[in-house]
Amino acid sequence: MSRWILHVDMDAFFPSVEQVLDPGLTGRAVIVGGPPESRGVVSSASYEARRYGVHAAMPTSQAKRLCPDGVFLPGNHEAYEEYSRRVLTILERFTPLVDQASIDEAYLDVTGCEHLLEPQDGQAAPTLPQAPGVGTDPSAAVRVGRAIKAVVRRETGLTCSVGVAPNRLLAKTASGLQKPDGLTVLLAEDVPRLIWPKPVGFLHGVGPSSVDHLRRLGIQSVGDLAHYPLELLAREFGVSGRHLHDAANGRDDTPVLPADSAGEAKSLSRETTFAKDVGDLAELQGTLLGLADAVARRLRRHGYVGRTVVVKIRRADFTTVTRSRTLPEATDLAEDIHAEACQALTAFWKPGLEVRLLGVGVANLQRSQNPPTTLFDPSEKLRRVSRVVDRIKDRFGERSLTRARLLEPSGRREEPGGEGDQES
């Protein structure tokens, strides 16, 4: 299946955060790095400082000679982490398929997400049925890229550069082609013209020793590598021979899967903290329904289904357990998610358990296929009802419709301006 992938990379990330935090630094040459006297090196330089020839990994002492009037800062990693998280949260409003690749960059699979432009306050714009944006026209993916740049700038004050391409490799290459504040589309057909003339070291993952090895084979440019016989590359480099060959030809079919720090598939989840610890199984099951509802709605909004239902239970003493169950088929229906979550909770529950926090997540996400159109299929009927409910909630707000079961009194803590739920 063809996809549209975005690569979002923040411009001069560390110095830009410094400039946002201290507007007096705007427009100035800002250099973040280790101190010159202890042989420190530059972590990153603002674009103003790069005009003097200052770049990352250069000794700070050399940067100081090139740019004596620059503002030299030791770095504030807590602030960088904080901004990194804020940007990630923005990206996740556009699609759950966000793979953060480093502190300042992420891949997004936005295939079919173009109807989710300009989400406000965590809410996506009303969803209109649309054909998924697969094929050869990048314009919908470009609109998503523009919207991301606008929201990131508005909410963090930072600029980023976005690459739009049919795969991760080309998207990453594209984001670097027009920095800063760029948006670049790179299609497979552009590879010979734009990428083949570059030296092989331009390819990500081709370091100095590979460059030397390739040069000994007479391979200098990316184009040389693309035309080199695959069998000979495989003989020289083993399995990475094929990767090199694919990279030089702009081929990459690695999917964008959301990953947490442990590298596991992340779940799309909702959780809630009770005002008062809850021990009653029926009340907990009722809470699970509201959470399952919220998760299912988010899945449908983004066009995903998931197979694994995860329940998170935090006891009164703060110990936390998760229980997961895998469905026979992937779903985006609250009823399915709720049924599995209830079974998982019931199997775990015993008298005396006091629950402080309850969460429901769905993992193993995949794009929803075109659903069967027969109304004799009971889950199709439910799906249609759910979509109508989604649309009403999109227009009139989250609380406009409530399941009868959720009207029962509960001890859920109401957080100002929200439902006390957290997305994670």
Q: Point out which residues bind ligand DCP (CB under 6 A).
A: 9-14, 43-44, 56-57, 103-104, 179-180
Helix (H) or strand (E) holding 20: helix 13-21
Annotated catalytic residue: which of 18, 48, 92, 105? 105
For residue 236, indicate whether it is catalytic. no
The only residue of 3, 7, 9, 113 in contact with Ca ion, by rule CB under 5 A:
9
Q: Which of residues 91-110 bind Ca ion (CB under 5 A)?
A: 104-105
Closer of 77 and 276 to Ca ion (Cβ): 77
Q: Which partner in ligand DCP, Ca ion, none is near 179 (CB below 5 to 8 A by kind)?
A: ligand DCP
CA distances from 143 to 4, 37, 148, 381 (A): 12, 47, 9, 33
Nearest distance from residue 17's CB to Ca ion, in Å? Answer: 11
Residue 242 DSSP SS3: helix
Dihedral (Cα; 340, 342, 344, 346), 10-degree rounding? -150
Range 13-32, binding Ca ion (CB under 5 A):
13
Q: Closest distance between ligand DCP and the C-beta of residue 204, in Å? A: 11
Edge-to-edge strand order for the sheet containing 421-423? 320-331, 304-315, 355-367, 268-278, 421-423
Residue whose CB is less far from ligand DCP, 10 or 309 = 10
DSSP secondary-structure letter at 392? Answer: H
Residue 13 CB, shortest distance to ligand DCP, in Å, is 3
Interface with Ca ion: number of residues (CB under 5 A)? 5
Task: State how far the Cα of 147 lies from the Cα of 140, in Å rounded to an integer.
Answer: 11
Among Ca ion, ligand DCP, none, what does residue 180 contact (CB within 5–8 Å per kind)?
ligand DCP
- Dihedral of alpha carbons 236, 218, 197, 58, sign: positive
Q: In terms of C-beta density within 10 A (0-12 exposed, 13-18 middle, 19 or more buried), how is residue 242 classed?
A: middle
Cβ 82 to Ca ion shortest distance, Å: 16
For residues 48-67, which are near Ca ion according to CB under 5 A? none
* Residue 56, contacted partner among ligand DCP, Ca ion, none, CB below 5-8 A by kind: ligand DCP
Of 100 and 272, nearer to Ca ion (C-beta) is 100
Rounded Cα distance between 75 and 31, Å, is 9
**DSSP structure class, residue 59:** B
Helix (H, G, I), strand (E, B) or coil at 44: strand
Q: Which of residues 13 and 83 has its CB atom nearest to Ca ion in the complex?
A: 13
Closer of 181 and 377 to ligand DCP (Cβ): 181
- Angle between helix 77-91 and helix 13-21 axes, rounded to 10 deg: 100
The site for Ca ion (CB under 5 A) is made up of 9-10, 13, 104-105
Active site (catalytic) residues? 105
